[in-house]
Structure 1
Amino acid sequence: MAGSYPPDKCGVGDYTAQLANALAARPGIEVAVLTSLSAGIPSDLTEVKVFRVMQNWRLRNVLQIKQVISKFRPDVVHIQYPTQGYNGRLPQVFPVVMRLLGFPVVQTWHEHYVECSAVNWLNLLACNGLVYVRPDLVSKLPHWIQVRLRKTPLVYIPNASTIPVARLSVEQEHSIKWELSGGKPIVCYFGFAYPNKGVERLFTIADPSKHHLVLICDLNDEHPYQATILRLMEQAAWKGRVTVTGFQSAQRVGEILAVADAVLFPFPNGAGEWNTSLKAAEEAGAFTVATTQDNDLFGYHESKNIYFADCDQISEMQVALHRYLGTRKKPMIKNVWEEVAMKHEQLYRTL
């Protein structure tokens, strides 16, 4: 179950789709996804059954979910938290409902408990297994939750990129780069434009006399933070030196990463291996600057082509961008989702 699923704009929704398809490709596994009605045009031409039935996630719709579950009769119910599409309290009580109906419940928490409004103490009443993607999640759980989960299988399964690695000819690379920046070096960001992403920092880290910013995200002037980004674009130094692509398909994002001279993730609270965007940039081979709170990661990592800086060291990120701009490593052509699916199946079979 996930509140969002492609073509919805949601990182956890994309993660859910990749996991569902990878699981469905394994022998003897049948997968269904319960999700929201989509405003976009779905393309569910996979082995996964997708039930797009939820108009909202309010408590009164619990019977609607029960009808879907009764049709599919799963061996395991797996719920993803959080997603953009959840807009009610139903996801918090859903695990209890499923346990009362006799189904084992697995939950994946993509954020720390104290940061995630989609989970609360009710989730703990019906959790037969907990998957987490942040390596420090368990250590940062409140003590009473650690005690409550002491007999629950807690399984760390690292995130994987949802962006395919693009294979482009030289002519295609030149064409895409010219289209985006007129041939100037591209400094890129992709993801959602929210305050916790630090998108405004790109305008300080990058140099308008040398770089062209490409923002792969939606910007809406009715959103206060995004309006700030739009105003920065209109400053004399940056006017005409920023391209906003809007939301793009995974394939198109992969193509842009293939021609980017640098990718920046200057998150105020730090990035990490749980960030699928960071993994996508690494797999594409693009030089990446990212912030971190882990002192052991500071500096340039040649094998990953990533420079990690302290969250507040803007000048350090400027220096790193100048030094490593255009550095690329060989793209990683590997289906990591097969391993992710295998680890999930191993957990399911223990329940």
Structure 2
Amino acid sequence: MAFQATFCTGIQEGRGAIFLDRRRGHVREALRGIGGSPGRLNSWLDSLLPQEEIFDRAPDAGERVLGKVYRNGPITHGDPMKVLWITTFPPRRCGIGDYAAELASALSKDSGIRLRVLTYRDGLGGRSTWDDGVEVSRNLNGRPTKDHIVEEIDEFAPDLVHLQSSSFLHPAAVNRGVAKAGESVPVVTTVHNAPQSWRLFYAIPSLRKVYARSSLLIVHSTGVSRTLTGFHRIDGKKIRRIPHGVDVDRYCPGTQDEAVRARYDLGGKRIVLFFGFLRPGKGLETLLRAWRRIAEANLDAILLIAGGTPSSAKKYFLNLRDEADYPARLRQLAESLGIGRRVQFTDYVPDAIVPGLLSSAEVIVLPYEGAHSQSGPFHKALSCGRPVVATKSPAFEDVLGDGEAALLTRPGDAQALAEAIHLLLSDDQLRNKLGRRGRQLAVERLSWPRIARTTVSLYHQTVETS
């Protein structure tokens, strides 16, 4: 069993605390009630922790304490904590797989964690590879059994298993294997979305077992948390909320790419952009109806709907069997509304050009219908400093908080959506203000290193208390 010590500090109203935790050793020393002036506290901390002046550190690189930043990352002794992930993963086109790849890359930079990702073969054969510093085991075949999970756990001997989950993301056998693993090793499950009807939930009993056996459930939004506590009667004490992350260095203002305009023959047109997988529930029908209302008043603008369907939707997603034809239905709707020439569809956008595409847009529109889980495209748009029109839902409101970094409209309200888009197209000052606030929010709260540190902290808490 790996050994890990974590060392952290906290200051609040002139009082400090140090906690030294040893996994499996159950050694916990606490020093509390350190009074005195800020100067005395500074001197005391200086004798314990390496430090740098705050302006030399990124905003999310540590805790701000009395004008200085103190590194509070893990101090590793001996072997790192071994964590086995079970998830979809690139090259499969899947939002959860993309999320997993980004977070795994950030976690791989923590020397206190040894991460292995167990995922599906997806045409690459059953083999282990290294992807951006992450060990990837492709030992889940087209018909996985729970024995695949058990065998991987026996071979890797993880300290903790982490499942990326949504209603129909995994076959029942994978869920059963994870639930079985929960009998002998702590399980953390990230619930990207949860069933919201009894009929649906009872159709997947293996998912109920996963929820029951998990020591900790991670969610991105209060909407999913409320579903778990209210509908599924899960104790809120074992639910923690961590926002979706974004690569703030890659998705940054000023990354416009003329090659993107040339690729899609956009010329000098003003771009109103939707970006993401094309799926029912994204509000695209509402967006097309809104665009009909404002297209004539904005003759120099084009609505660009950028994205395709998830990989092999009919094969991998039980509840998406009709989605392969969804883009064609949207094109038909655009033609029937008489705006076919003012709307352009790109199909799937290669990852390499996504930052340039987002930064080239004048307005980004994400008109989701009642979204409960957070949106990677939303965070990327904020990080690129682009003004966003979205809908009033937990997925977006949790991220924005009290700050004004986007315009929100009622889901399904084409008139309100049209007015918000038109307002941004006609107000340069408002566009710039929203863009600056969105970028600031992303840098301060949504960077992957910050998300990774929070995740690692929860790993240690889970193993310590299991």
Scaled by the length of structure 2, the TM-score of the pair is: 0.64
Matched, 1:94 2:177: yes
CA contact (8 A) 2:371 2:393 kept: yes
Tell me the distance in 2 between the aligned counterparts of 1:228 and 1:166.
33
Letter in 1 for 2:228: L
Report the alpha carbon displacement of residue 97 of structure 1 after superposing the two structures with TM.
1.5
Partner of residue 213, structure 1: 303
> SS at the partner of 1:229?
helix
Letter in 2 for 1:156: R
Tell me the distance in 1 between the aligned counterparts of 2:381 and 2:129.
26
Letter in 2 for 1:29: I
2:251 aligns with one of 162, 165, 170: 165
Partner of residue 358, structure 2: 257
1:50 aligns with one of 118, 125, 136: 136
Partner of residue 202, structure 1: 287
Residues 215 and 83 of structure 1: is their aligned pair in 2 closer, same or farther, counting only changes over 3 Å?
A: farther
Tell me the distance in 2 between the aligned counterparts of 1:99 and 1:222.
34
Report the alpha carbon displacement of residue 16 of structure 1 after superposing the two structures with TM.
0.9
Partner of residue 228, structure 1: 329
Report the alpha carbon displacement of residue 91 of structure 1 after superposing the two structures with TM.
3.0
Partner of residue 140, structure 1: 227
Letter in 2 for 1:123: V
Report the alpha carbon displacement of residue 307 of structure 1 after superposing the two structures with TM.
0.6
**Residues 170-202 of structure 1: CA deviation (Å, up to 9, x unaligned):** xx5455335432221111111121221121222
Report the alpha carbon displacement of residue 256 of structure 1 after superposing the two structures with TM.
0.6
Partner of residue 109, structure 1: 191
Partner of residue 68, structure 1: 152
> SS at the partner of 2:353?
helix
Letter in 2 for 1:132: V
Residues 144 and 5 of structure 1: is their aligned pair in 2 closer, same or farther, counting only changes over 3 Å?
A: closer
Residues 74 and 182 of structure 1: is their aligned pair in 2 closer, same or farther, counting only changes over 3 Å?
A: same
Tell me the distance in 2 between the aligned counterparts of 1:27 and 1:191.
33
Partner of residue 284, structure 1: 384
Tell me the distance in 2 between the aligned counterparts of 1:105 and 1:165.
32
Residues 167 and 283 of structure 1: is their aligned pair in 2 closer, same or farther, counting only changes over 3 Å?
A: closer
Matched, 1:189 2:290: no
Residues 143 and 85 of structure 1: is their aligned pair in 2 closer, same or farther, counting only changes over 3 Å?
A: closer
Which is higher, the Rg of structure 1 or of structure 2?
2
Residues 136 and 232 of structure 1: is their aligned pair in 2 closer, same or farther, counting only changes over 3 Å?
A: closer
1:156 aligns with one of 230, 236, 241: 241
Tell me the distance in 1 between the aligned counterparts of 2:146 and 2:245.
32
Superposition CA RMSD, Å: 3.3
> SS at the partner of 1:78?
strand
Tell me the distance in 1 between the aligned counterparts of 2:132 and 2:333.
42
Letter in 1 for 2:411: C
> SS at the partner of 1:349?
helix
Q: Relative to structure 2, which stretch is displaced further, 325-334 or 274-283? A: 325-334
Report the alpha carbon displacement of residue 222 of structure 1 after superposing the two structures with TM.
8.0
1:312 aligns with one of 412, 415, 422: 412
Q: Relative to structure 2, which stretch is displaced further, 210-219 or 110-119? A: 110-119
Q: Relative to structure 2, which stretch is displaced further, 260-269 or 177-186? A: 177-186
CA contact (8 A) 2:280 2:326 kept: yes
**Residues 268-321 of structure 1: CA deviation (Å, up to 9, x unaligned):** 22477x222211111111111111147x96xx9996541101113221211111
CA contact (8 A) 1:57 1:89 kept: no
Report the alpha carbon displacement of residue 79 of structure 1 after superposing the two structures with TM.
0.3
Q: Which runs of 5+ in 2 are unaligned?
A: 1-84, 314-321
Tell me the distance in 2 between the aligned counterparts of 1:91 and 1:316.
43
Residues 222 and 7 of structure 1: is their aligned pair in 2 closer, same or farther, counting only changes over 3 Å?
A: closer
**Residues 123-181 of structure 1: CA deviation (Å, up to 9, x unaligned):** 233111111111233333355843x536x532111112368315656xx5455335432
CA contact (8 A) 2:172 2:207 kept: no
Residues 145 and 128 of structure 1: is their aligned pair in 2 closer, same or farther, counting only changes over 3 Å?
A: same
Residues 233 and 204 of structure 1: is their aligned pair in 2 closer, same or farther, counting only changes over 3 Å?
A: closer
CA contact (8 A) 1:75 1:103 kept: yes
